[in-house]
Amino acid sequence: MKTKFNLLLFMLIATCSCKNDKKMTHNKEVPKAKKIEKKLEIHNDTRIDNYFWLNDREDPEVIDYLNQENAYLKKNLEHTESFQKTLFEELKARIKQDDASVPYKYNGYWYITKFETGNDYPIYTRKKESLDAEEELIVDCNELAKGHSYFSLTGLNVSPDNNLVAFGIDTVSRRKYNIQIKDLRTGEVHPEKLENTTGSSTWANDNKTLFYTRKDEETLRSDKIFKHKLGADPQNDDLVYFEEDETFYSYIYKTKSRKFLIIASSSTLTDEYRILNADTPDGDFRIFSEREQGLEHNIYHHEDQFYIVTNSDGAKNFKLMRTPENRTSKVNWVEVIPHRKHVLLQDIDTFNDYLVVSERRDGLTRIHVTPFDVSKESYYIPFDSETYTAYTTTNVEFDTEILRYNFTSMAKPATVIDFNMRDKTHVVRKVSEVPDGKFDANNYEEQRVWATASDGKKIAISMIYKKGMERNGKNPLLLYAYGSYGSTVNPAFRRNYLSLIDRGFIFAIAHIRGSQYLGREWYDDGKLFNKMNTFTDFIDCSQFLIQENYTSPKHHYAAGGSAGGLLMGAVVNMAPELYNGVLAAVPFVDVVTTMLDDSIPLTTFEYDEWGNPNDEAYYKYMLSYSPYDQVKAQNYPNMLVTTGLHDSQVQYWEPAKWVAKLRDMKTDTNVLLLRTDMKTGHGGASGRFESLKEDAQEFAFLLDLEGITQ
């Protein structure tokens, strides 16, 4: 689509978006899942689940039903297939195919990730000491992916002597990785495979001991840390640590100083660490500080001390502490940066001469630099924008005065910047290209507005639209949000959404409660018994955008995925009249049933987020918003729901059951579609290009509802 519309095309799109001429129509082959009554009883309450039988992916009838839904989706979107191809090529044209990352130096080598034209997957390489040196291949994912419909590589980890690399591979999309080890001198891959792992691993300093995390076969909880000796049979690997508490998960890593191995055990609200000198891998890990329920902290080693970002002693927005490396118990912690009511301390980076703090105030990210030399003043890196995102990136070396960070906004592509902390100069190392020849950031406007929630709280909305947008209530608007786990959706550049924006859409992000956009209280006010605030915030944002004439109900759309899909399920039950269409990706919609089943992956350490429905009070509250349980006989918007058969985060049957129940109960004639990718999981298709086909289909669904066909 051309960046600048000619007058005729602009008038055509404006006319189409006003008509709302839907092209999707029902046909006589609407899938209808059979009903088999299943009584679910607890707390003297009985729920009837007629679609519980869909929980078995090995049942041929289940697979047949999912295939029927896929066929129905294809039938209803058949008239958009040509448009989908156009959109796909458009999305693909915005990707620089022969792209490469900005090199970073670590332990004597420059590391580079690159893509080659036509290839789906990255190639990892390195150069010794100089960028002019000969390039060495680490891993070519395109070669490893051959013969697999899905491929994911994670956890690249080079040994301290630079001779070996470990990495994890998943070809099922179940997030169960097999770790392999490659000799970078010979290119030979060692025969042993470490199976059913998280994919991440950590070398001890002896270059032959590798620590890694295994998952529980059924729940997929990462609960066991193992020690593998190079060349040994993995069946004989030593179990180093087992996390018995089912609400916790574990992982292992090495400090930036390379001195300590760290075993971390974490739940939503509590962290605990065990440390071991990386020179003595056969020694015993010691507890950093005794586990304390509700104590959250991250630890960072620098010289002979640990720095601790923590919420201890009521520091809701976190503070920074310090302690000697040989006296790490909490009683020894000394305050470095106090708690601040209106500033969320998010992370730190340590260097020989500088401490860098990443924080958030009034929703905006900030980077603060403090020299360890007390005679020198600390300062903030200046950012002059109303809505943006800035964050530190790959800073793996101590002995440098260069801080690398990334800056982006909804209209500005990601920019990698090297900032000299001594003289405050900077060098732009890379601006992500949009190589279609049409993108111009000056053609767009960004804005942050504030809606008022029903309880008086102010909710920020970041948005982008084409210059010249008129607030006449006729603009199609897509409102996106997540709102769980304290995860904040930042106002960053999303090149794919240009396909909607260039056709007249406003794209907006609602920074609702359940995130940490306005600090830790913003998160606490959107979880457990406050979860309903997440949903009402989104609805209040929608009403604000309609009242302010950015859009109207017949042009208003909503989107969210995973826990954001739960958000979508809740708002269409509560306020379906506000939306013409909804995209719900891998939606967590069968909340109560899932949270009552501790055999389902990831359930147990979700209790701190949603509550444990084995407790009657939590059961009743969760039941009050659980989308699947709250489906009722009413009109619903047009909806496209997506899932993956191998999803390990939100099991496929949740959206499948939800769609089946909606089909049975909804009173409208709007379109309801379910897409199940029979080969993938939570993240959808792998590779740079295959996933774009999914985006193209979803955009075609929205644009078709607006009557926009080109």
HEC profile of 147-193: CCCCCEEEEEEECCCCCEEEEEEECCCCCCEEEEEEECCCCCECCCC
**What is the residue type of 548?**
E
pLDDT of residue 689: 83
Q: Are strands 415-420 and 426-431 parallel, antiparallel or unpaired?
A: antiparallel
Number of domains forming the structure of the chain? 6
Is residue 567 domain-shared with residue 676, that is, in the same domain? yes
What share of the chain has pLDDT > 70, as a percent? 95
Provide Rg for the chain, Cα atoms.
26
What share of the chain has pLDDT > 90, as a percent? 87
pLDDT of residue 159: 98
178 vs 191: CA distance, rounded Å: 12
Is residue 187 domain-shared with residue 279, that is, in the same domain? yes
Three-state secondary-structure class, residue 636: coil
> Is position 375 within any domain?
yes
349's tokens: 């980076």
Catalytic hit among 250, 562, 626, 686: 562
Torsion angle, alpha carbons of 615, 620, 621, 625, to 10: 130
pLDDT of residue 437: 93
> Is position 61 within any domain?
yes
> Is position 81 within any domain?
no
> Is position 706 within any domain?
no
Where helices occur in 20-160 by DSSP H, the ranges are: 60-76, 81-93, 141-144
Is residue 335 domain-shared with residue 346, that is, in the same domain? no
118 vs 284: CA distance, rounded Å: 49
Q: Is 647 in the active site?
A: yes
Domain boundary among 433, 451, 482: 433
> Is position 85 within any domain?
no
Residues forming beta bridges with residue 406, ordered by sequence position = 391, 416
Torsion angle, alpha carbons of 546, 551, 555, 556, to 10: -50
Three-state secondary-structure class, residue 469: coil
Domain boundary among 433, 459, 477: 433
Domain boundary among 380, 402, 433: 433
Three-state secondary-structure class, residue 537: helix
Catalytic hit among 222, 267, 682, 704: 682
For the entire predicted model, the pTM comes to 0.90
pLDDT of residue 501: 98
> Is position 377 within any domain?
yes
Is residue 34 domain-shared with residue 105, that is, in the same domain? no
Q: Quote the DSSP letter at residue 340.
A: B
Catalytic hit among 436, 647, 677, 695: 647
What is the domain extent for residue 163? 152-287
Residues forming beta bridges with residue 287, ordered by sequence position = 274
**What is the residue type of 617?**
A
pLDDT of residue 98: 92
pLDDT of residue 14: 32
Report the CATH number that the domain containing residue 449 is assigned in CATH: 3.40.50.1820
Strands (DSSP E) along 496-580, which ranges?
506-510, 556-561
Is residue 566 domain-shared with residue 684, that is, in the same domain? yes
Is residue 413 domain-shared with residue 457, that is, in the same domain? no
Is residue 165 domain-shared with residue 281, that is, in the same domain? yes
Q: How far are the Cα atoms of 52, 455, 478 from residue 452, in angstroms, in the given order?
A: 40, 8, 19
Q: Is 682 in the active site?
A: yes
Is residue 163 domain-shared with residue 195, that is, in the same domain? yes
Is residue 271 domain-shared with residue 385, that is, in the same domain? no
Is residue 525 domain-shared with residue 604, that is, in the same domain? no
| Residue 423: Cβ-neighbour burial (10 angstroms; 0-12, 13-18, 19+) | exposed
pLDDT of residue 15: 31
> Is position 267 within any domain?
yes
Is residue 129 domain-shared with residue 71, that is, in the same domain? no
pLDDT of residue 24: 59
Low-confidence ranges of the chain (pLDDT < 50): 1-22
pLDDT of residue 686: 60
Let me know how many helices (H) and strands (E) the chain has, helices first.
13, 37
Report the CATH number that the domain containing residue 167 is assigned in CATH: 2.130.10.120
pLDDT of residue 118: 87
515 within 8 A of 522, measured Cβ to Cβ: yes
> Is position 55 within any domain?
yes
Is residue 102 domain-shared with residue 160, that is, in the same domain? no
